[in-house]
Structure 1
Amino acid sequence: MGSNSPPLTHLAQEIAKHVSTITSYLQSHNLPQPSFAPDAPPHPIPETDEKLSSARIALIEATKALHALAVGPSETTRLFAFPGLCHLGAMQVLCHFKVPQTVPLDSPISLTELSTKTKLNEHVLGRLLRMVATNYYFVETNPGYFSHTAWSKTLAPDEKMRQCIWFRHAELLPAMGKLVAAVERYPESDDPKKTAFALAFGGETFFDYKEKNPDDMIRFGQFVDAFASGYVVDSPENIARGYPWGDIGSRSGDGGLVVDIGGGIGYVSVAVGKEHGQLRFLVQDFEDLRKQSEVLVVENRLVGRVKFMAHDFFSSQPEEARGASAYFLRNILHNWSDSYCRKILKTVVDAMGEGSRIIICDIVLPEANSGMPKTQEERARALDMTMLSMFNAKERSLEEWQALFNSVDEKLRITQVIGRPKMRMDCLIEVRLI
């Protein structure tokens, strides 16, 4: 590990160094220190300062390695994913019975009262809470009395955060359980109907299943928004600040049109539109999302600048969307194998005019020995496994992205990649016809 010290000693030294950097910064800026207390901030270490953010990631890396060495290979293997599965199951029950919302935000509650209010068996409730408390969600302040921690408090007011639990338990876990069967039965397939998800859910593709269960589609959209909000590039606000949107349409002086393909209800378009008044937006997605989109647009006073259009991105772009200044795809292409991505991108290329660009917000997988921290790479690889099990799709390296674009049109080239050096998990990829 680049040191003559024993690994444990070296890691301890690294941890002390990074803790000092973080605590000194927080003290000098009069910011609260990280804490399990319910009034602790949900994001105690700001991501906006590059040095501080790097220290945070390095600290996580070092503590992860220290934990692995302290536990050892045998115990790690024997307990592989075991507590995590139990945490997931317990938390799903707690969220289903609205326990996070029922526990008072600033005081303890007895199991008896909580059981009465949630209609969850008191004995089972206690077992569930004591399980998740080992992972810092809730705390038993006195025997039979529970309070929030900063961790469990994130679930109390925010429906989107609770959907993170729902999706992994209700949809990802059953799909992962069929992954062996899927790769055995369909070893070469890129068909979204021949996936682990399809085996777990009656042979339907993920999106066919969602179309038949619109409430689930809404929940999935909430999960995606919550999940994306934790990433430096991927949140709508950071997308608005992270790309030079001001350059779009500047030549004509009358503003440019951005087509937000598969844009949900339009969170990104609204965020960018609030920052860049010269732009107009056409949000394309399922018809079921129209009403939510229109409400969002009205609430943000962007009527006339952000418009919703029901559209299937495998179909040719309608006349209104042709020749747009930019075509934006956020977390779309990673849901599809290369053959399907080519179909999507072909409709975009066919609609592009002179000066049009494609802006893709998606993961860029690291190359071998890239220097990306393992904790960051682990998340990227986990998403890659999710894409495999749910869609027969994948995350892509920069080389794979360019190969995909070349297979659509040899003139389609990556002109810019916005993301942290050595940490390109979530990136903005600009593509033009050159």
Structure 2
Amino acid sequence: MAATNPSNSNMISIANRILADTKRFIELAGGLPERTFALGSIDFEGTGEYVYVRNSLVANLDDLRYLAIGPKRSMLSFLRTQQGAIALQIAFTFDFFRIIPAKGEIHIADLAQKAGIDEDRACRMLRLLATYRIFVETKPRHFGHTPSSIVFHQDENIRMTGEYYTSELYEAFASAATCIKASPNTSDAKHCPFYTRHGMTFWEYYAQNPELSGRFAKAMAGWIELDGQFDIRRKYPWAKFQGTILDVGGGSGHVSMDLATEFPNLNFIVEDVPHMIAEGQHQLTTQPTRKWLEPRIQFLQHDFFQLQPVRDVAAVFLRWITHNWTDAQVISIFSSIVPTLESSAPGTPLLINDLVVPEPGEVPMHVERAVRNADIFMFTCLGAKQRSVAEFTELLKRADKRYNVVNVSMDANMGIIEACLEH
């Protein structure tokens, strides 16, 4: 299903599609209770046709809403989301999500006293958030949780995602125009909104603020919980390989360990910086569920901008690396891998696992919007970007003309781009 077709914008036709999608959506839920606005309503992700129908339903609902309120009010509504973001920032900063009990309700006077702010502003923020179904006013000046707000009460990682998004990241977002005015033709870790706002790179900021670094790590785990996990074990035919996989920038090696557990025919070399290597070695030698993998997992300190020392592998794996870096830096990473591929068997692939940006109009607008939001996130934090298949292909060719993209495996917006060298 592609984006909206302007010639198919009859409101009755859209409404009929919404009705048909809703009926099919409920059928595909497989007997699960229908979602409601009440606390405890089930949140089910689904796969296959369920996701397709959900996307169609949301796209048609978006279209009908736009036609119903008109272009001016649609734009005004978009501008007003900033006030909602402010209210959300207050809710996280003053811990509303945990102060409001998981069951029942709390009077605004008690909440304000526990939060350490005045009743008037606390109540106004909560009432605005309630219009987004974040909290509910159960009776005058009494507030409880909704299915959306309760997740921040119950799950620390998801709450950390909210806190991160509405604190140092939100402050950086507000510096985007200032950043571009100061460096209209340059985008990198020192020419990005985060650096403009905080006076240091993203990596330096968390190195100097270890307590915030811990929160950031939990926030990223929470982000995966909110957005859905890409199961790398199921999304690519790893069983076809025999030998060693080189995991470039593999962190503590948790993905290689998961793959090694699933595929006994594979060994792994995990490359990263010293502190990540140390963490991986600690996990491998001390965790009973990992220790048996020790003979098949090797750790190696390496800077992936430098030429690869490893030779003769079954595949090279780059997972969630490229989106952190500029085009020039990604070209350098791809170039550094060439000696490894040259020394390996013909057809040995470089596997690039990352978000893949769709071409305009290729997917429904709300799906494309989510990916492009992630792209602006990378610009804000690191002056980097998310990329399309065409952009990945161009960077590979600029790194070495012998690179050819031979396959792209997609699951929603996450993909594995498979590139080989012509021998």
The answer to whether the superposition gives a TM-score over 0.5 is yes
User: Contact (CA 8 Å) 1:88, 1:165: kept in 2 or not?
Assistant: no
Q: Which residue of 2 aligns with 1:207?
A: 203
CA deviation map 1:307-339 (0-9, x unaligned): 66554332444x5x5444333222221221111
User: Contact (CA 8 Å) 2:96, 2:115: kept in 1 or not?
Assistant: yes
The TM-score with structure 2 as length reference comes to 0.86
Q: Which residue of 1 aligns with 2:406?
A: 415
Percent identity over the alignment is: 27
CA deviation map 1:118-158 (0-9, x unaligned): 44544433232222111111212122322221111111222
User: Contact (CA 8 Å) 2:158, 2:226: kept in 1 or not?
Assistant: no
Q: Which residue of 2 aligns with 1:301?
A: 289
**Pair 1:21-2:24 in alignment:** yes
Alpha-carbon distance between aligned partners in 2 of 1:328 and 1:231, rounded to the nearest angstrom: 23
User: Contact (CA 8 Å) 1:243, 1:418: kept in 2 or not?
Assistant: yes
**Pair 1:354-2:344 in alignment:** yes
C-alpha change, 1:87 and 1:264, in structure 2 (3 Å) is farther
Q: Which residue of 2 aligns with 1:260?
A: 247
C-alpha change, 1:149 and 1:267, in structure 2 (3 Å) is farther
3-state secondary structure, aligned to 1:72? helix
3-state secondary structure, aligned to 2:233? helix
CA deviation map 1:374-393 (0-9, x unaligned): 11111122222223333232
Deviation at 1:160, TM superposition (A): 2.1
3-state secondary structure, aligned to 1:38? coil
Deviation at 1:399, TM superposition (A): 1.5
3-state secondary structure, aligned to 2:408? strand
User: Contact (CA 8 Å) 1:3, 1:10: kept in 2 or not?
Assistant: no
Alpha-carbon distance between aligned partners in 2 of 1:277 and 1:185, rounded to the nearest angstrom: 53
Q: Which residue of 2 aligns with 1:253?
A: none
Match of 1:65, as an amino acid? D
Q: Which residue of 2 aligns with 1:66?
A: 64
**Pair 1:30-2:31 in alignment:** yes
C-alpha change, 1:111 and 1:346, in structure 2 (3 Å) is same
CA deviation map 1:228-258 (0-9, x unaligned): 44556xx25x212111121222xxxxxx433
1:331 is matched with which residue: 282, 303, 320? 320
1:344 is matched with which residue: 333, 336, 344? 333
3-state secondary structure, aligned to 1:30? coil
3-state secondary structure, aligned to 1:135? coil
User: Contact (CA 8 Å) 1:198, 1:206: kept in 2 or not?
Assistant: yes
**Pair 1:246-2:242 in alignment:** no
C-alpha change, 1:92 and 1:177, in structure 2 (3 Å) is closer
Q: How does 1:165-204 map to 2 (within 5 A)?
A: 165-202=162-199, 204=200
Larger relative contact order (CA 8 Å, sep ≥ 6): 2
Alpha-carbon distance between aligned partners in 2 of 1:21 and 1:242, rounded to the nearest angstrom: 26
2:52 is matched with which residue: 39, 45, 54? 54
Match of 1:183, as an amino acid? I
Q: Which runs of 5+ in 1 are unaligned?
A: 250-255
Q: Which residue of 2 aligns with 1:367?
A: 359
User: Contact (CA 8 Å) 1:313, 1:347: kept in 2 or not?
Assistant: yes
Alpha-carbon distance between aligned partners in 2 of 1:404 and 1:3, rounded to the nearest angstrom: 34
CA deviation map 1:162-191 (0-9, x unaligned): 233233322333333232233333232244
User: Contact (CA 8 Å) 1:231, 1:426: kept in 2 or not?
Assistant: no
C-alpha change, 1:137 and 1:3, in structure 2 (3 Å) is closer
C-alpha change, 1:220 and 1:262, in structure 2 (3 Å) is farther
The TM-score with structure 1 as length reference comes to 0.84
1:107 is matched with which residue: 100, 104, 109? 104
3-state secondary structure, aligned to 2:157? helix
Alpha-carbon distance between aligned partners in 2 of 1:7 and 1:228, rounded to the nearest angstrom: 37
C-alpha change, 1:325 and 1:137, in structure 2 (3 Å) is same
Match of 2:85, as an amino acid? L
3-state secondary structure, aligned to 1:328? strand
Q: Which runs of 5+ in 2 are unaligned?
A: none
**Pair 1:279-2:272 in alignment:** no
Q: Which residue of 1 aligns with 2:223?
A: 227
Q: What root-mean-square deviation, in Å, do the aligned CA atoms of Structure 1 and Structure 2 show?
A: 2.9
C-alpha change, 1:209 and 1:284, in structure 2 (3 Å) is farther
Alpha-carbon distance between aligned partners in 2 of 1:301 and 1:392, rounded to the nearest angstrom: 38
Q: Which residue of 1 aligns with 2:420?
A: 432
Alpha-carbon distance between aligned partners in 2 of 1:247 and 1:182, rounded to the nearest angstrom: 47
